[in-house]
Homo-oligomer: A and B are copies of this chain.
């Protein structure tokens, strides 16, 4: 990975986790992710480090742009002791791309734009250019065996869309295919739980160690995120029977909290649980996040009719018929109002299921009785009494809104599963 923009905190590295995930699914064990700025010396130091670790494959992302701070190709070429050569066909290809989306561009055959294009069309001798999916081509530099070996290095662009679109041609290039042919037969399985504390899972895993022989052949990682606890296990395919025994122990202790054994997310589970019914939202403290989450899935317009962000009390009354006197009597953050919001949304949006959130995301607005983090939920389902519950979430505004959004989905699934 390169890119001062990742290093200086403006963007989180999306490419590292994405590439790791793809490589793992190809059986590649990813040992290190490194990020450096746009200084050639730092990138060279990391390439040397990774080479010394004996890795078979290095994938870089970023630093392929037309600006002078983008130096990945030339730095890798120097590291591999390969000269850079201009590929005239590639140069014309890039110019054509720029022409197509910048018809107003100045003369591409001269001046600074041509310098940028020419820079991007330089490829190390013996390397393969990957056709651009944006404007920048990728490069695969084959390994050099021998006394001073160099691993195969794949150079990909930084924008995640371009990188992901280029990945298939990188994987099928001869030098990468050769590395992959020697990869292990690894498997990865994910169990997801909600409402389970990491310390409880740690206890169960310690117990499992005493009950299951060879449990240490599994590489187990636990990760708490947005209130959900993921347990990811990697193992050689021959050890699948050990993993099945572990699953048995987990289900025995935490069946109520486990909602997924096959990596399915709560968003996936919600679609199953809806089973053709339509859904809508009425949000206050989550401010649209629940609706955004429901609609991030292709095809969601088939079952998401819409939602209301009733941030003000007037909006609650005008758009989804929450009685103004109810808000005065119980406060906007109350189970009564949550119920009325869900029922109002169900009627106004003409949906089978509606979920509501109203709470105090902070930092202001908390009271002793209803401190920051207090959130009331309502789930209204056609033909059933409306369900309400109050939760208290830790953390700052962003965390409370995120935890509330995840909680809303879990509550809908739990209610639908009971029906």
Report whether B292 and A207 are in contact in the complex, using a CB–CB cutoff of 8 Å: no
Report whether B102 and A197 are in contact in the complex, using a CB–CB cutoff of 8 Å: yes
Report whether B13 and A9 are in contact in the complex, using a CB–CB cutoff of 8 Å: no
Q: CA separation between A18 and B11, bound complex, in Å?
A: 9
Q: Which stretch (A25-33, A241-249, A376-384) binds chain B?
A: A25-33
Interface string of A330-367 (1 = CB under 8 A from B): 00000000000000000011100000000000111000
Residues of chain B within 8 A of A397, CB atoms compared: 296, 298
Chain B residue nearest in CB terms to A349: B315
Q: Which stretch (A66-74, A141-149, A254-262) binds chain B?
A: A66-74
Are A296 and B401 CB-contacts (below 8 A) given A67-B198, A102-B197, A288-B288? yes
Report whether A309 and B308 are in contact in the complex, using a CB–CB cutoff of 8 Å: yes
Number of copies: 2
Q: Which one of A20, A116, A220, A299 has the greatest number of beta carbons of chain B within 10 Å?
A: A20
Report whether A306 and B306 are in contact in the complex, using a CB–CB cutoff of 8 Å: no
Q: Which one of A46, A67, A224, A394 has the greatest number of beta carbons of chain B within 10 Å?
A: A67
Residues of chain B within 8 A of A221, CB atoms compared: 3-5, 8, 37-38, 69
**Is A34 positioned at the interface, with any CB of B under 8 Å from its CB?**
yes
Residues of chain B within 8 A of A10, CB atoms compared: 17, 21, 223, 225, 230, 232
Determine the main DSSP class of A at the interface with B.
mixed
Q: Could you tell me the distance in whole angstroms from the C-beta of A306 to the nearest C-beta in chain B?
A: 4
**Is A305 positioned at the interface, with any CB of B under 8 Å from its CB?**
yes
Q: CA separation between A17 and B37, bound complex, in Å?
A: 12
Report whether B30 and A33 are in contact in the complex, using a CB–CB cutoff of 8 Å: no
Report whether B311 and A112 are in contact in the complex, using a CB–CB cutoff of 8 Å: no
Chain B residue nearest in CB terms to A206: B112
Taking A12-B12, A30-B37, A33-B35 as known contacts, 9 extra A-B pairs with beta carbons closer than 8 A to each other, sorted by chain A number, are: A4-B232, A10-B21, A12-B17, A68-B205, A280-B315, A287-B294, A296-B401, A307-B308, A308-B308
Closest 4 CB pairs of A and B: A9-B21, A287-B295, A288-B288, A288-B291
